[in-house]
Amino acid sequence: MASPIMWLDKQSGDMPHMTGTLIRKNATQIVDLLKAGKVSPLELLDALEARIAEVDGQVNALPTLCFERARKHAKNLMKLPMAERGVLAGLPVPIKDLSDVEGVRSTQGSPIFTDFVPDVSDVMVRHLEGEGGVIYAKSNTPEFGAGANTFNEVFGKTLNPWNTSRSAAGSSGGAAAALASGTAWVAQGSDMGGSLRNPASFCGIVGMRPSPGRVAAAPGSEIGGILGASGPMARTVEDLAMLFDAMRGEEREDPISIPHDGVSYLEMARTGPRPKRVALSRDLGITPVDKEVAEIVMAAGRRFEEAGVEVVEAEPDLREAHECFQTLRALSFAIGMKPLLENHRDKLKPEVIWNIEKGLALSAEDVVKAEHQRAAMYQRMLEFFKTYDLLLAPATIVAAFPVEQRYVERCDGHEFSNYVEWLAIAYAITNVACPALSLPAGFTSENLPVGIQIIGPPRGDAQVITGAKLLEDILGLKGSTPIDPRIA
C-alpha cells in the first residue's frame, strides 16, 4: 500500500506544494484507487485531516470532526471483500449538521442543541454508510437550515473560499465551502428553498436537489412532506452522480422514499442520451436577477447549441410561486418547530420565529389555496416538459454577497419583503417537485462563481445529470476547484 507521502507533489495554481494530489483528484478517481487497492480509506482520512488543519480555519466549513469514529468505521469496512464495500468503497463524506450521526455532536446550528449527541444516525446516514461512505465531519449550516447564509450562534460564519469576505450561501454552505477548499471530495446536503443549489452557485461546485423521495431521510414531524430533499454535492457532475448512486434508494422509515430503479446515475452522466431541445430563461418570469449574473447564465445556456441542442428562450407559468411556497414553508416550520418556539423562544433567531409564527397564523383556507396553486403549477410544468427536455435558469439571482449581510435585501431595484423572497428562482422549482442542479457557469468581474440551474421534469433526475455533464464538458470549468481560501 502506498504511503500518503508518496502522493505528494508540487501543485500549480492556488494549491500549496505540500498538499497531496489525493486532495486534487476527483471522487471517481479516488474510488477507482480504493477499488484497485492503491489507496486505503485510512490514507484518505489522513489526507483530509491534514488539509482541514491547513485551510478550514480560514473558512469554517467543517466545525465538528469525528476522525476517531471514521477510522474505526474504515477499519471495519476494510475487513470486507472489496465487492462488499458498496458504491463508495470507503470514500469519506461529511454530513450537514441538520442530520444526526450516532455518537457525534449534532447541533442543527442551534444553541438549543449545542451539546446534543444522538444515539442513532439518521436513516440517510445509515444508508450512506452501508454503501461504503465514511463519515468524518459535520458541515456548518444556518440555524435549522433557515436562511441562505451559513452562520449560527454555535459555530459562527462559514466564509466563501473564493473571497472570504463573502457568504458561502446556505443552508448547505459548509458542505459547499469544504468542497471548494479541498476538505471534501463529495458532500451531503439538503434543499428546501435552494439550500443545495445556492451554495453550489456561490462556491463554484455542483449541487443537486433530487426528486422528492429519491434519497430516504427521517421524516420528522411532517410525514409525507416533499418540500425538503437530501441530495449530493461534489466538484464535478460525475462525482455528484456517483454519490447520488450511493445515497438513493428506498427505506421504510421514509414513507415517500422511492425504490431503486436500477439506473446508474454515474453511467447516465457518461453515456446517457443528450437533450434535443432546452428552454432558457433569465428569471423564470417571477424575480429580479442581477444583470451580470443573468448574462453569464444566458451565455452559458446558449452554448448547448455547440452540441446541436436547440435552445429556446421560454419558461413555464409559475406566477403563484411566491404565495404558494411562503405558505407551505411556514406550515412546515409550524409543524416541525412549534414546541421549540414554546420552550426556547429566547434561543431562536428572529427569522425562525417569524416563520413559525407565520405558519401558526395560517388558516385552513390559506393551506387549501396553496395546495391548489401547487397542483396547478405542477400540471403546467408537466405540459411544459412535453415540449422541452430541460429548463435552464440562474441558480441564484446574485453572486456571493458580503457575509455580514444576513440575506439579500434588494436586487435590480426591487426590495424584498422578507428573508426568503430572494430565493424564488430556486423555490419555484421546489414547489413543482422537479429535480434541479446547479452547475458552474462562469465568473463575475470580481471573480466570483455563478451557477446555472438545470431543471428536469418530475422524476427526470437522469435527464438533469446527463444534460449537466454535457454542458460541463462544453463550458470547460471542471477543475476550477479545489482552491486555497482567498483572503479578501
Is 110 an annotated catalytic residue? no
H helices of 131-264, where?
A: 173-181, 197-203, 237-247
Q: Cβ contacts of residue 386 below 8 Å, gap of 6+?
A: none
Over the stretch 453-468, which tens digit does the pLDDT of each residue have? 999 999 999 999 999 9
Dist. CA 99–CA 118, nearest whole Å: 10
| Percent of residues, the chain, with pLDDT higher than 70 | 96
Q: Could you report the per-residue pLDDT of 368-395, keeping only the tens digit for each?
A: 999 999 999 999 999 999 999 999 999 9
Q: Catalytic residue among 25, 96, 157, 358, which? A: 96
Catalytic residue among 110, 171, 172, 181: 171
Percent of the chain with pLDDT over 90: 92
Among residues 195, 211, 257, 332, which one is catalytic?
Answer: 195
Average confidence score pLDDT of the chain? 95
In three-state secondary structure terms, 284 is coil
CATH superfamily of 7-475: Amidase signature (AS) domain (3.90.1300.10)
DSSP characters for 44-57?
HHHHHHHHHHHHHH
The residue whose grid cell reads 458580503 is: 402
CA–CA separation, 115 and 118 (whole Å): 10
Let me know: does 130 contact 175? Beta carbons within 8 Å: no
Strands (E), 236-309: 277-280
- Where are the domains positioned within the chain? 7-475
Concerning whether 438 is annotated as a catalytic residue, the answer is no
Q: What is the mean pLDDT of residues 162-179?
A: 98
Give the tens place of pLDDT for each residue, 300-317.
Answer: 999 999 999 999 999 999
What is the residue type of 371?
A: E
Distance (Å, rounded) from C-alpha 429 to C-alpha 378? 10
pTM over 0.85: yes
Q: What is the DSSP letter of 459?
A: T
Contacts of 337 (CB under 8 A, 6+ apart): 144, 352, 356
**For residue 328, pLDDT beyond 60:** yes
In 3D space, the residue among 172, 93, 189 whose CA is nearest the CA of residue 137 turns out to be: 93
* pLDDT the model gives residue 16: 42
Instruction: Determine whether 195 is an active site residue.
Output: yes
Q: What share of the chain is helix, strand, coil (3-state, %, to 5)?
A: 40, 15, 45
Find residue 188's DSSP bridge partners: 232
Distance of CA 349 to the CA centre of its chain: 23
